[in-house]
Amino acid sequence: MPRRLSRARPGLPLTPACILLAPVLLLLPLPGARSLGLYSPKDPLVLLRADTLERSIFNSSSAWVVEFYASWCGHCIHFAPTWIALASDIKDWRPAVMLGVIDCADMSNQKICSDFGITGYPTLKFFKAFSKKPEDGIRLYHHGDDIRNLRESIIATLERHETVWPPACPPLEPISAAELHGFFQANNVTYLGLIFEKEDSFLGREVTLDMLQFENIAVRRVLQSNVELVKRFNVTTFPSGFLLLNTGSYSPIPVHNDSRYLYTDYLRRLSGVFRGGAFKPTVVPDVYPTTTPAPWRVADRKKLYMADVESAVVYSLRMEAARFLHLDEERLALLKQYVTVLVKYFPGRPKVMNYLRNLDSWLRPKMNVSQSEWEEALRNKKELPSARLPETPTWVGCQGSKPQYRGYPCSLWTLFHLLTVQEALRSPVSASPSEVLPTMRGYVRYFFGCRECADHFEAMVAESMNKVRDKDGAILWLWSRHNRVNLRLADSSSTDPRFPKIQWPPQDLCLRCQMTVNGKRMWNREAVLKFFKFHFSRANIYLDFLDRLVRNVRNVAERDYETEGKLEGGGGGENVREAEEEFEKDKQRTEKQEDARVEKSGLDRSGSPELHRPSIIKMNTKTKELEEDIVDLDTFSEQHYRSKALKAAAEANVRPRRSKRDTGLVLMEDEGLQSFDYDAFWDHRRHKGIGAQQLIGAVEEEGSEKEYRLTLRKSQWFRILGVGFSRLDVSLCIALYFLSSLCLLGMYTFFRMRLRYRKGRPGYPLA
């Protein structure tokens, strides 16, 4: 028997049409449905997509609360369990109130999220019943992320319905003495629960909604200010409950505290009270996409992958900057600065760099840019085949064990580290201030979707970025701040359990970056700087998994870099067919080398060793400027750590021995920034299948690209002869050569003089 409760007209029953319109039918999936983003179909909420969002919430007889989130957003990951718990807590409020989610990080949902005015994550929007357009959504503000505050915010917003009340929702306003007098005549129910409460209490409204799906009972609230009813029932404590029967009798509800669950449980156990069959969810065909997860890509943590940094550029331009319906003056100025910095310092492939140059030229004269204009500018043009940006991101070193882990935040950190290093390597004036750091700060402030993350970063920037005086200081500042961020997030739910956050770089990558002083671990900042200048150098960038190539064909990659700057507009281009043919020839050999590397290092095919989180290491106390706590690297660096070696080094707790040749290091500590440990470097490169000619190119860039190539040509023979020897080795060789020359000269003089002496003696045979 349908209930006869209404807000404006108590005698008006619910119509079958209202029941049929209830979107609760969408809630139960078929067995085996896949997880989408941070939520799955088994959760008691609706998973929305670009093609279902509008038709679900517009003209719906239900009120909707939708969370717009990004699966990579740290705060969204933290908030997801709360939202799921809320959905379970208020599932009996359906179909009056429906909860939904949509992943705005999915590129197919980007446009619809932008149309709904979503500029940060997570965003909660409340849509009244029979909403017509995105602008009808009300931003749902709440104090904290606990379930109680969210419930109260939903109820407070629900009561703001001015003219149209959700048909399935019972009245939430307090009952009056006059309405109570004729209640059972107007409503065909056996029980009426009255909850006496204070004006600011939400208990009565919550219990009313909790009992929405139950028949033969109604619940109303009575305020403490209603003196007539308070005196009639002799109420002295608030909250208090009374149960009225249609026979005219009443009795107190035996609940003596502010417990919504106790009231609900008592009322549901009453004789004759049952859950209404009209609101039982029905299984419907699975309408959720069954997308195939990205294949696992085996990555080497020693490498820097072009796929990751290009993906950061792709996502920042195609997704983050495209969220705004209109780029205002401040955002547009920052976007221009961001693209200009990419053009100057991003060591991308020729096609990508041509694309960025064209975009930079298009942006410079613009005074305002709409979303449609920006989307049009970002499209790859058929008439410009040599200027293209990848359509979608591809994570390699930043690939997480699940789609919500790592990805874009990891690649963005990697991109900014790369830009600070490239700025220091390319700029002729090292003492000039960095332009990358202010650009990075502005980008995070105006475009980064996770607003809580952006606020944390801005606090760090305001605290110490003004102390950075030069470009080397910018490298170290970003390194230390990144480590600090990941220390804060090390045990959070946003951390990939397969790639725990540690202090970076670890000892097995840079032994001399850490040292022990008086039993305490310290950072060697000079060694860290040298290591960063190698690790984020152009020579250490690999093109694996990009575009058509599953693995990098190194000679094609080098040719790709050599042609940079020569391709302008539509002129020039890669020989794609030749590259693919060379790749097919090299593919099997590369796979064998990769398999041998994995087997030798003791890793499984996933590249993940035994997990280990080393202890937090404090910075070198000798440097007072930029003093801070160091924390882990969120990006590429956490992969495939040799946990046993780290553990052994930590237990030994001794200062690493400084030998003239340390194979655990790539860069030497006691020499200039351009000095390599060639023995370790050669061994490192030999395992990658790179010969002497490729080794020549693996040095820091000096000045412009032309000067860099000229320097390499002049010094190539010296570097080839010096491969495998440190400077001390070369010095010893020179000294031994000099001594051996003196020895040979002395022997020659001795035998020459002896021969003359013998010739002067009588009896010496003459010719």
Single out the catalytic residue among 73, 104, 410, 513.
73
- 73 noted as active-site residue: yes
- Distance between CA 56 and CA 69 in Å, rounded? 18
- Distance between CA 678 and CA 687 in Å, rounded? 14
Q: 158 with 165: CB under 8 angstroms?
A: no
- Distance between CA 67 and CA 121 in Å, rounded? 9
Distance of CA 180 to the CA centre of its chain: 56
Q: Cα–Cα distances in Å, from 369 out to 332, 362, 373, 387?
A: 7, 11, 6, 22
Pairing between β-strand 46-47 and β-strand 97-103 as defined by DSSP bridges: parallel
- 76 noted as active-site residue: yes
Q: Cα–Cα distances in Å, from 61 out to 22, 132, 156, 426?
A: 7, 12, 18, 62
- Distance between CA 521 and CA 501 in Å, rounded? 18
Q: 71 with 404: CB under 8 angstroms?
A: yes
Reduced to 3 states (helix: H, G, I; strand: E, B; else coil), residue 123 is strand
Single out the catalytic residue among 18, 76, 410, 450.
76
Give 669-705 as a DSSP string.
SSS-TT-B-HHHHHHHHHTTT--HHHHHT-S---SSH
How many of the other CB atoms lie within 10 Å of CB of 274? Answer: 13
Alpha helical stretches, state H, 182-226: 183-186, 203-210
Walk across the sheet containing 217-223 and list its strands. Answer: 217-223, 191-197, 240-245, 250-252
- Dump strand ranges (E) for 599-640: none
Alpha helical stretches, state H, 106-212: 110-115, 147-158, 177-181, 183-186, 203-210
> What burial class does residue 395 get, using C-beta atoms within 10 Å of its C-beta: 0-12 exposed, 13-18 middle, 19+ buried?
buried
Cis peptide before 95 (omega within 30 of 0): yes
* Residues annotated catalytic, as ranges: 73, 76
